């Protein structure tokens, strides 16, 4: 099955700085890569996603890049704010079937 | 976005008892739902894929006789943890896949709010 690795496990940045979280996947057939934000005790919330036919996608302060050849994708958050503090998970999927999640990154944005 | 609910939101039970968790898609039909388990400070681990009208498919290492899944309708999947033990204590989250009709629609998954199970 698919294996998704995510790093770093924790990331601390100053408010206003950028944050980058990276993931790699093992199954070259995977074609959908969502990113989720999860606050303590709550459900994961989709923040951005990318499909394998696109190399980059941006939504305001959030962007995701995908390198299919290297099988890695990254989440970029610019101008971080304290409310961005949460745990972020990447995932990989084939045709929106099973989602295989990375191990998570705890982002702490210091005011 | 679409809404997925879970019931109960939390449950405490004694060791050896069975617990049923419901996952409902409230405003769309979901032929496929997924069940995940999340231990504290860990990632979501896929347990099984629930298919309406057919048997669930389980991930490697997940005991199908312990975690019974029933997807009896297009809007409801249930997970029953049988003979629960303290090590089954976890956060159980379902997701429902929405596949809109027509080419303009976008397939995506929506997560339920989760059920926190504590087994004493």
Strands B10-13 and B115-119: parallel
Nearest to B56 by CA among B44, B73, B68: B68
- pLDDT for res A91: 96
Interface of A with B (CB under 8 A): 1, 41-46, 49, 89, 95-104
For A60-101, write each residue's pLDDT tens digit: 999 999 999 999 999 999 999 999 999 999 999 998 888 999
Cα B27–B33–B35 angle (5° rounding)?
125
Give pLDDT, residue A88.
97
Q: Which two tokens stand for residue A67?
A: 């390198």
Residue A98 to residue B34, Cβ atoms within 8 A: yes
- pLDDT band for B101, please (50, 70, 90 cuts): low
Which of B25, B28, B33, B44 is most worth mutating to test chain A (most A CB atoms within 10 A of its CB)? B44
pLDDT confidence of residue B119:
97
pLDDT in tens, B20-69: 999 999 988 888 999 999 998 899 999 999 988 889 999 999 999 999 99
> Within 10 A of B49 (CB to CB), how many other CB atoms are there?
19
Each residue's pLDDT tens digit, A11-40: 999 999 999 999 999 999 999 999 999 998
Cβ A14 vs Cβ A100: under 8 Å = no
- CA–CA distance, B101 with B97 (Å, rounded to integer): 13
Please tell me the predicted confidence (pLDDT) of residue B54: 86
How far is A18 from A53, CA to CA, in rounded Å?
26
Count of CB pairs separated by less than 8 Å, A with B: 48
């Amino acid at each position: 099955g698919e294996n998704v690795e995510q790093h770093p496990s924790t990331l601390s940045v100053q408010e206003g700085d950028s944050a980058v979280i990276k993931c790699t996947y093992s199954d070259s057939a995977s074609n959908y890569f969502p990113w989720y934000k999860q606050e303590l005790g709550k459900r994961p919330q989709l923040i951005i996603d990318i499909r394998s036919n696109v190399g980059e996608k941006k939504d305001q302060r959030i962007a995701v890049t995908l390198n299919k050849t290297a099988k890695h994708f990254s989440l970029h958050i610019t101008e971080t704010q304290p409310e961005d503090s949460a745990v972020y998970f990447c995932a990989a999927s084939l045709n929106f079937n099973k989602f295989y999640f990375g191990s998570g990154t705890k982002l702490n944005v210091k005011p | 976005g679409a809404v997925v609910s879970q019931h109960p939101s939390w449950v405490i039970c004694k060791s050896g008892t069975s617990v049923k968790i419901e996952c409902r898609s409230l405003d769309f039909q979901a032929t496929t739902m997924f069940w995940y388990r999340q231990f504290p400070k860990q990632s979501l681990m896929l347990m099984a894929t629930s298919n309406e009208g057919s048997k669930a498919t389980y991930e490697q290492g997940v005991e199908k006789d312990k975690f019974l899944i029933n997807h009896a309708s297009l809007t409801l999947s249930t997970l029953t943890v049988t003979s629960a033990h303290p090590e089954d204590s976890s956060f159980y989250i379902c997701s429902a896949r929405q596949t809109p009709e027509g080419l303009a629609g976008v397939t995506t998954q929506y997560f339920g709010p989760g059920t926190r199970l504590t087994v004493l």
